[in-house]
Structures are given as structure tokens and as C-alpha cells.
Amino acid sequence: MNRPAPNRPYLSPWLTEAAYYLGTYLLLPLYFGKITVTGRDRIPSEGALLVTPTHRSRWDAVLVPHSVGWLVSGRHLYFMVAAEEVRGFQGWWIRRLGGFPVQREKPGREALTQAVTLLAQGHSLVMFPEGKISRDGTLLPLKPGPVHLALQAVQQNPELILHILPVYLHYSHPYQPWRTHVTIKIGAPLRVLAPKDQSLRQATWDLTATLRSSLLALGEGLHHPF
């Protein structure tokens, strides 16, 4: 059995690929109404990728891979998951599908090291920059953590090609009952470059502000009835 490199979470390719097929061709069509995805042509074909979706539901963890992941781009996505979710039988599945735990209020060094290592080695990682679910569709203030980790990765590997991919998820109902419609908009990727004429802190805030502007632009024109 292939085991992960040091500081990299384990991901079972065959189990993950099976999950993609089940989600795309069975679970999502049976539960949701119309699912509209735009911007898939914007997914970078090479390099590392930090996917930064808005967070509106626990369904996001299924719909993001559906719109960006292996069946679309050939990329296996790793997820940073709240530690309380990675327990018991559910935790067993999450860990084998590329998820690894993090304490939301006080992330530990191991989880942060794993995230930076994944990106520095050219993998694809999903992080929700709002940090929690927003039920009313309002874009919450973005946490600087995801961008900070991306900048650390390019500092660790100066030859790394790394992009941040903004993804906007919109549901026709805040609690996603059966046959809810979904709109997913993928934005233009943001290239991450190691800061030269500014501090890491300032570069983090500037790129986080750019990411926020990209997500707001993706959300324009979407109706939020709730």
C-alpha cells in the first residue's frame, strides 16, 4: 500500500475516485434540482492549487469536488476539516478521502505544516476562507490563514507554480431541502508569488483583499431571497 510522504495526509485514490462517481452520478442528481457550474475552463491545468470556496452548507464539501475535482480537472483534492468532524466512522472516511483535522479556533502546527507541504509539493487543497457557514448568502470577512499558507508554500519552494481559485456557491434555499437549485461560479485563478518588496504579513492582507474582491464579483447578480 502506498503511504503518504512525511507531513502529507493519506488519500486513497480508488476510494476517492469511487466517491466522485457516486456523488456526481447518483447522490447529487437524486437530491438537488438543477446544478449549474460555470468557469470550469478557468481551472489551471498545471501547478499547485488552493481552492477557496464560499461556505454555505455542509453540502459544499461534495459540490466543490464535483465542480473542480478529479472528474473535471484530474486533481485529487485535499481538505482541511474541523477536528470535531474527523471522528469515528465518519472520520475514517474523511481521512481516506483526503481530509485532515484542524482545530478551528487554534490551528495546531501539524495541520498547518501539512497544508503548506501539500501546496509546496504541487497538490490541490480546499480551504473555506470565511471559516464558517454563512446561511444568508452574505460573504463573511475572510480569514487570512489560507492566503498566508499559500505564500509560505511559494517561499518554501521558489519554483512552485501556485494559484488560488475563487469559487462561489449559491443555493436557492438557505437550508438546502430536496430539489434545491445550486449555482457554482469559478473565478479567474490568482497567481501566488513570493513577496519581494513587502512583508509576508502585508502580502497576506493584500492578496486576501484581492480574493475577497474576486468572490464578491462572482456573487454579483445572484438573487439571495433569504
- Choose the weakest-confidence range: 3-12, 15-24, 29-38: 3-12
What does the alpha-carbon distance between residue 150 and residue 64 come to, in Å, rounded to a whole number?
A: 19
Average pLDDT of the segment spanning 38-65: 97
Residue 8 lies in a domain: no
Task: Answer yes or no: is pLDDT of 187 > 80.
Answer: yes
Judge whether 124 and 48 are in contact, CB under 8 Å: yes
- On whether residue 4 sits in a domain, the answer given is no
Q: Which three cell numbers stand for residue 46?
A: 498545471
The dihedral built from the CA positions of residue 152, 158, 159 and 161, taken in this order, carries a sign that is positive
**Residue 224 located in a structural domain:** no
In-domain check, residue 153: yes
What are the residue ranges of helices labelled H in 74-185? 88-96, 109-120, 145-156
pLDDT on residue 2: 46
Residue at 1 is within a domain: no
Domains in the chain, number: 1
In a domain, 78, yes or no: yes
**3: pLDDT confidence band, cut at 50, 70 and 90?**
very low
Range of the domain at 38: 13-131+140-219
For residue 26, pLDDT over 50 is answered with: yes
Give tens-digit pLDDT for 136-155.
Answer: 989 999 999 999 999 999 99
Task: Please give the mean pLDDT across all residues of the chain.
Answer: 93
Q: Which CATH number is 99's domain given?
A: 3.40.1130.10
